[in-house]
Amino acid sequence: MATDLPELPQHLVTGLLALAQALEGRGLRYALIGGVAAGYRSRPRFTQDLDFLLQVPQLVLPGLLEDLHARGFTFDTETAIRQWTQEHLTVLSFHGVRIDWLKPVLPLYQQVIDLARAEPWLGCSIRIAAPEGLILLKLLADRSQDRVDVENLVAANRGQLDLDLIHQAWQTVAELSDPRMQWFQDVLARLYLPPPSSDAGTS
């Protein structure tokens, strides 16, 4: 998909590459999500933070954090470990860029990691969430920007989405009758599914 996102601040790009290299070097399973991933999979947009779904074994976490400190990331190590262990999320910073880590505590989150694809981007291999995974996460959050991102993802991946997968994964967190999924069906009708044949109903 995208090969360059010129709207991204330089510190964000540098932090993204440094973090991806640290995670890849340890063979950790992760997925870049959020605005940067949505922009890569659809239409680039300005964003000032990074979001990751991430699996980190407890024994590996202290060494990873020490490595990230050496690479210029800032955070309180004790707080990060406590938050990751007890709250299943934590926040890092890289020269003012906020970086959110989220542990895949829901089966749907784990599926997003499983679906993520390694992409050669900016001279590095980065595991970026698939369009289906991003759509699911953004339907869950359902903020105004999330809806814009879903529409862009649907339009940019027309004819390529695994709609059955999206519907099945959604049912692990909510019913298909949920207003968020009903809105998604409307988006599909507008931007994804072919229009009804003009010959329908004619003799």
Q: Could you tell me which residue, 64 or 1, shows the higher pLDDT?
A: 64
pLDDT tens-digit profile of 132-189? Answer: 999 999 999 999 999 999 999 999 999 999 999 999 999 999 999 999 999 999 999 9
Give the pLDDT score at 8.
82
Name all contacts of 88-96 with Cβ < 8 Å and 24+ positions apart.
Answer: 92/68, 94/11, 94/12, 94/14, 94/15, 94/18, 94/19, 95/11, 95/14, 95/15, 96/11
**Domains present along the chain, CATH in parentheses:** 10-191 (3.30.460.40)
Provide the percentage of residues in the chain whose pLDDT is more than 70. 93
pLDDT tens-digit profile of 42-53? Answer: 988 888 899 999
Give the pLDDT score at 5.
52
